[in-house]
Structure 1
Amino acid sequence: MNTPPILDNKHTSSPSIFAVSALLREARRQKKLEVADVPSVCILDPDGDLVRTLRVAGKTIRFENWPCYHTELDCFSLGGQQVGIVGRVVGSSFAVLVAEELFASGCRLLVSLTSAGQIVTSGRPPYFVIIDRALRDEGTSYHYAPPAEFANADPRLVAMAWKSMSAHKPRCVVGSSWTTDAPFRETAEAIDFARSKGVLAVEMEAAALYAFASAAGVKVLCLAHVTNTMGQSGDDFEKGEADGTSDALAALDTIVRAICAEASERPAAK
């Protein structure tokens, strides 16, 4: 067997028979929802800490016409504008399902911020990694892109994010991640392999989101909040103040502001 059967019959250049537009149409019909565009900037919050903290503080408004069967969409102020946020979108397949729905509903920039385990040390956690490429150790990306070791971010988005964050706290680095579908199968051998590739952190969504973004021609940026050493040291999984949400919101605010400002300054295509 030269390749595992799971890689067979992945016709990445062929359109899908089941379209996101059909799902959204039927969800709106069943739920009696109006067609309404979501905010142009949306955030994925796999851990759910941001959504929970913002709701408790009374800073969110529910987007009532969000037709997703599986999630809720909240809106709040970030980077000088109203943005959308979806919590607890954990894992590659779920993240891409929601990303497809968001972009089909008016989203123009999606930023995912997930907690991650440290692989190659970049300091003492917590800190942030702007993910420039992700090791494809999950299944979803192979439905969007032919087999390759890494899925790459849009280098322009990475550069804008890094420029905006390089002079700001919280601490931030640029580097690669390892996207896994099986967090409790992070064996010593798998970790050593990721480390040999210079991978900084392990998470569960970036490779699939980047493969989707490249295939769909949309803007996605993934950030990893490195908060732990996979339980290998005492007092692990400490995110910081307010479960890390203060630093996370500051980072997101800075990055979203910078990317949106650059987009608004770019001359319109003729």
Structure 2
Amino acid sequence: MLLEEFEHSPAVIEPFGHGQVEEFGVCDTLIFSFNGDIVDRVRQMPESREGGYLKSLNGRHPWYLLEKDGLEVAVMLAGIGAPLAVGHLEELKSSGFKNFIILGSCGVLDSSIEADKILLPETALRDEGTSYHYAPASDEISYEPALLLTMERALDTAGIEHVRTKTWTTDAFYRETADKVKRRLAAGARVVDMEASAIMAWAQFRSAKVYQFFYTADYVDHHKNEWDARHEERTADCMSFFEVALAIAKGL
């Protein structure tokens, strides 16, 4: 099968020196947020300034440098979907960023998980295509345990509750059928996302330091075969999740 053709050899196009990047300033740690409201609010802070941007046919993809409480981080909007997210991470790493703190919402498969909870994806079911170009074919993939421990220590120090979880990473959110959800639950996944397994594979392939967490959002109800957005339950300000990212950055 095509997805079993993983090769560890260099590609015809490598990101090193070939990415369309305009660099005005980088720092060690980049916060890669799938939540656009977080990035917009950081951009409006008086301590924030544009640090550079990636370029594509979609236009400019800027990052912003923020200095707060003696800590400097970059903040950038993460493109939704594994190919775009990993493609940007490739170019950002080649630009000089060393640590990547990645945050975004995830769907819930297990209704016992309440909204706005902090989850650390340690393992993912690979139901997307990007990861198979960065790691040999398998059903599951994981983050480096040492990186998870570093993130957990930072969260513990900050007094932030969190739990580890297995996620189901899929490319097709409109094809999350009730039977698929039941099978993914049986395989141990409690949440669903669109990028984690690909980011895990990329991190292993490039020896990148990635610290990813989710905050829980909607519920995929396989019992009633319906989707529950859980809007009334999701009461946390999005910047509370940015503060979680800053707590991790302080612990690196």
Bin for the TM-score computed over the shorter chain: 0.7 to 0.9
TM-score, normalized by length of structure 2?
A: 0.87
The structure richer in strand per residue is 2
Query: 1:62: how far off?
Result: 0.7
Provide Cα deviations, 1:178-222, integer angstroms capped at 9, x if missing partner: 111111111111211221122121111111111011011111122
Q: Residues 79 and 254 of structure 1 are in contact (CA less than 8 Å); yes or no, is this contact kept in structure 2? A: no
Which residue pairs with 1:6 in the alignment? 2
Which residue pairs with 2:31 in the alignment? 43
Query: 1:165: how far off?
Result: 2.1
The structure richer in helix per residue is 1
Provide Cα deviations, 1:122-171, integer angstroms capped at 9, x if missing partner: 53211111111111110000000011111211111111222332465553
Counterpart-to-counterpart distance in 2, 1:22 and 1:237: 47
Counterpart-to-counterpart distance in 2, 1:79 and 1:142: 40
Q: Secondary structure at the residue paired with 1:21?
A: coil
Query: 1:253: how far off?
Result: 1.6
Which residue pairs with 1:135 in the alignment? 125
TM-score, normalized by length of structure 1?
A: 0.81
Q: Residues 120 and 198 of structure 1 are in contact (CA less than 8 Å); yes or no, is this contact kept in structure 2? A: no
Identity %: 25
Unaligned runs of 5+ in 1: 261-270
Which residue pairs with 2:245 in the alignment? 252
Which residue pairs with 1:55 in the alignment? 43
Q: 1:92 to 1:67 in 2, by over 3 A?
A: closer
1:126 aligns with one of 112, 116, 121: 116
RMSD (CA atoms): 2.3
Counterpart-to-counterpart distance in 1, 2:144 and 2:109: 23
Q: Residues 122 and 143 of structure 2 are in contact (CA less than 8 Å); yes or no, is this contact kept in structure 1? A: yes
Counterpart-to-counterpart distance in 2, 1:16 and 1:175: 33
Q: 1:235 to 1:201 in 2, by over 3 A?
A: closer
- 1:68 equivalent in alignment to 2:55: yes
Query: 1:237: how far off?
Result: 7.4
Unaligned runs of 5+ in 2: 221-225
1:187 aligns with one of 161, 174, 177: 177
2:196 aligns with one of 179, 192, 206: 206
Q: 1:200 to 1:60 in 2, by over 3 A?
A: farther
Which residue pairs with 2:155 in the alignment? 165
Q: 1:234 to 1:36 in 2, by over 3 A?
A: closer
Q: 1:254 to 1:79 in 2, by over 3 A?
A: farther
Q: Secondary structure at the residue paired with 1:62?
A: strand
